[in-house]
Each structure stands twice: as structure tokens, then as C-alpha cells.
Structure 1
Amino acid sequence: MEKILIVEDDETLRGELSNLLSNSGYEVLVLTDFKNSKEEIIKLNPDLILLDINIPYLNGEVLLKSLRDDKVNTPVIMLTSSNKTIDEVLSISYGADDYITKPYNPTILLLRINNIFKRMKKSFDYLEYDDLKIYPNKGIIVKNGEEFYLTKNEMLIFTYLLNNRGNIVSRDDLMSYLWNSDLYINDNALTVNISRLRAKLYDMGYNDVIVTRKGEGYLLK
């Protein structure tokens, strides 16, 4: 589930945004400490930021520039009640991914958010499993900013189970898939790799998510 951080000091608008996003299936984070806004944003580590231009202590455009200067590349949609061209120009030049004026159309806002996440997935080529981001080409899984490394066999097994989530995958199917990926693996090696994959998922907080169905195969919950 993608995490969206709302940086908006207007309590009413903040509540409306929070309800809209949570009802649309996003995990909502809310910034309340505007005095230390940059530090709080980095600590919260959201997937996307909705940033109002007129926030206390630090102008939203200045905050955006400061984040980009610190190599924080989290996508940002600027929110503003101003229709001045200069605000849009500054926001985009400082690294905003999109810019929307208030009062906003909820459907349009959700579409723009969805488009950004689609571009991110295409760009970074990752899969998702609950709060895990899986990067098959890099052999890593990321959870809350922490990286976990899988071997090539472990990654191929996990992604195959993930692409068939909720369905039973036979051992023969898994071995055929690995053979087609130019990796030699026999029955014993598959058992060892499944065991190691389970142990690594356990370290990420996922226990018993790969279920063994005796005589049938495996199922990813």
C-alpha cells in the first residue's frame, strides 16, 4: 500500500484529503510539526507528498527546493489556492512532479496521483507485496527504507509465487520456471531455496506467508 504524506496546515482541507485518500486505498500520513518539516518528511519516508505552498515557518516551494537539494526524490504534488503563474513555474523548476490549484477536483487529483505511481513502477520496475517493494533486477526487497537481499533463485521463486498469489503453484512448475530462466535446480535445491526464502521473509516480519500444500505445491498468502 502506497504511503501519501499530506503537508497542509488547513485542518478542514487536511481532513478532506485524508478521507479521500484513505477511502481510495492509500495509507495516509499527516505532517503536524511544521517547524521541523524537512526532518519530519525524511523520517516518515512517504511514497508521495502532497505539499501546500503556504505552510507555516517555511514556504512550500522553499521546502521542496531544500528536499531536492538533499537528494530527496520522493514525488511531490504542489497544492495551492494561488493561480499565479510564477508559483507554478517555481514549483516545477524546484522539482515538483505536478501542480494543482484549490479547490481541486477529487477525481482529477486521484488520477494525477495514480499516474505518478504508474510512472514510478514503470521507471523503477518493482513489484509490491503489502508494504514490501520488490526489485527483481536488483535482487533486493525494500521495507520502510531497509534493504533485504535475495539470491537469484530466491527472487525468481518469490516473484513467481507473487505473480500467482492466492493460487497453488506446483514444485514442477517452479522448477520448470527456474530451468527456463537458465538456472539449474533440482528437487532438493528447491526445498533449500524455499526454506531460505521463508527465513528472509520472517526477518521482514512475514511469517508463514508461503504455505505448503502437501502433494500440491506452494501458495503465497
Structure 2
Amino acid sequence: MMRILLLSNYKDYGDTFYNNLIKLGHDVFYTTLDLNLFRNPRKKISSISQIFSVVIFDETISNSKIVELLPHFKGSMDYIFRKIGENLAVDTMQCKKKVDDFEYIYKETPIDELRELFEKINEESHFLNRCIESLYNVEAFNFSKKEKLIYEYLLNHRNQIVTRETLCKECWNNSVTQSSLSSLSICISKIRKKLEQEGFPSKCLITYWKKGYMLDFKVVF
């Protein structure tokens, strides 16, 4: 079914949640590896995303550690969960406000609900992979040279906000001027239009006012 990475500070093979995932036929890698290994370099996180479709931080991992690690997973992992008890603690809610890049999943979630949840994720994952393949077929969009540079940079940093200044430096030889910023805005509009022409929603290329842009793959659903 799916390959799931379950991160913990203590492996409990009697855990009902873990065993329910196994019963549902999922390949669960339950690890207590030193989480320092996941911090750097980023390539390690990228390689993890090529193996696993879902990562779950269990309730033994502190919120502060999740907040620290999450930026390294963001952009590489499309499905990130935080396993918690039935009663949300105040600090857990604060953690969500800080990062808001994962979903909560209760450790007491019944097996039938887990079945439906991960079946839906599995379907979305297959569809997302097909869309990603299409989005990586850069030549199909007939981009100009500059549009291609911008698009490829956003593609390599998918699901992350890339600042306008960063894009200008990457695509205009370290030049951040009103002219390059204006040209960037025009290129973004053209890229968005060409994505639409190939059947992708315009909202998959998001503009964050005065911040930058993000190529968001999840909105293709």
C-alpha cells in the first residue's frame, strides 16, 4: 500500500496505532534513529521523500524538535502528520500556530478511519506523482529562457515561498532592481498562463504579496 516513516523516541511494537497500520498492509519504518541525522544536509531529507510517502512524528517527540525539523521536511514530504493524544495540550496548539505545515492524527484513531484516510492519501499521492511528472516536463510549456530559469528554480523549491529578491539574484545575475522586479512579475504572469494552457490551475503558482512566490503542487487536486 504505502511506505510510512514513523519517527519516535521510543519504539513500542505493542502500540495499537502502529499495529493497525501494519494490519492495513502498509510498509511502516518505525525508527528511533538520532534525529540529528535528519537536520543536515538537506539531501538526506530529499532521499527520504523518494522512499516514503508519509512521515509521522509520534507523541514522544517534543514540539520544539518538530518545529526545528519541519523546515527540512517541507518541500520534500507532501504528507506530514503529528500523532497526539485525544486531548490537545496548549503547547501543541502553539506548535501548530508556529508551523501549520502538518496535520494532527490521534493515536486512538480507529482502524476503519485509518483505512479510509490512507486510502485517500494513496490515491492523492498517485495523482500527485503523475502531475509532478507533467510539471517536470519543462519543455512542454514553451517557456522563454528567463521564464524557464524562474520556473525551474521554483520547481526545485516546490511548496516553499521563494522571495522576489532570491529569484532576481538567480535569474538576473545578482541584480535586484525595480526593473528586474518588474520583469519578474511579468514572467510570473506568463508562466502562470502557460501552466493554465497545459491544464494546471493558476493557483498552483501562488503570489505572496511583497514576499515572493510558491509553486504549490497540492492544489492540483
Return the structure number with greater strand share.
1
Return the structure number with greater helix share.
2
- TM-score, normalised relative to structure 2: 0.45
Higher relative contact order at CA 8 Å, sep ≥6: structure 1 or structure 2? 2
- TM-score, normalised relative to structure 1: 0.45
